Amino acid sequence: MIKIILTLFLILDLSWAETPQKREDKVIATVVKMQGQAKLLPAKSIKKHTLKVGERLSAGDRLLTYSDSSAVLKFNDDSVVVLDENTRLLLASRTLLDQETGEVYYRIEKRTKNRGLQVKTPFSIIGIKGTEFIVNFEASGRIALNEGVIAITSPQKKFELYREQKMDAFKKYQQQQQEGFEAYKKRTEEQVAAYLVSFDLYTRKMLTFTSANNCKEQCESQVFEEQFSPEMVARFKRYQAMVKE
């Protein structure tokens, strides 16, 4: 009787065991480059370990970078994601990344409609089919799009969106420097606001999210759309160089 029970346990254990092929099937990205120190908290684990080049990542894994550190990930479809310093990113699934803090550069290859990617943040949900953009947590959040189109959706209430009139990027940058951001924001607020749950962001535009306390009506947050600044152009060039090296 004891032998029968032990045999049954052995059979069940083997049937539940994850084969190397099953683990390989779950891989969605690989660490291809690193600088400084980063940690990986594997799915269903409470213990972090040091992230290494060549490490294969699965859904549910959470990555953390520290000061003066970065990590470059390459996904199965050749999309590339770069985590800057002091960043936390959860690979929730093949189609969902949850950026919890810090700054991340995304270069996402074109995807079919039913396999589109979403990036979730506390201030917005970003729908992607193929594009290049940066998300960071400066102010109350910022998104900058270098190429393609992305859909911006509010986590709950409507955005109070202010769209900037077309202006030469260098002139706008000079104007911001002269006025200071608060004065620039106040002048922009005098424009008519649009209250939207979702909207599209187009090439060479960036969004700055600010507190909902500033809204004229109930909203998720105030959002200011503007043209690229020279500083943002430089950020993209830095990430592009990291990916090419």
CATH number at residue 153: 2.60.120
Q: Which of 101, 135, 152 is the last residue of a domain?
A: 101
Q: Which of 85, 101, 117 is the last residue of a domain?
A: 101
Q: Check residue 19 and give its pLDDT.
A: 47
Containing domain of residue 120, as a range?
Answer: 108-245
pLDDT tens-digit series, residues 12-28: 444 444 444 454 568 99
- Helices vs strands, H then E, count in the chain: 5, 20
Residue 151 lies in a domain: yes
Return the amino acid letter for 186. K
Residue 167 lies in a domain: yes
Longest dimension (CA), the chain: 86
Q: Check residue 201 and give its pLDDT.
A: 95
Residues 116 and 230 in one domain: yes
Q: Check residue 115 and give its pLDDT.
A: 72
| Average pLDDT rounded to a whole number, residues 175-179 | 67
Query: What pLDDT band is residue 238 in, cutting at 50, 70 and 90?
Result: very high
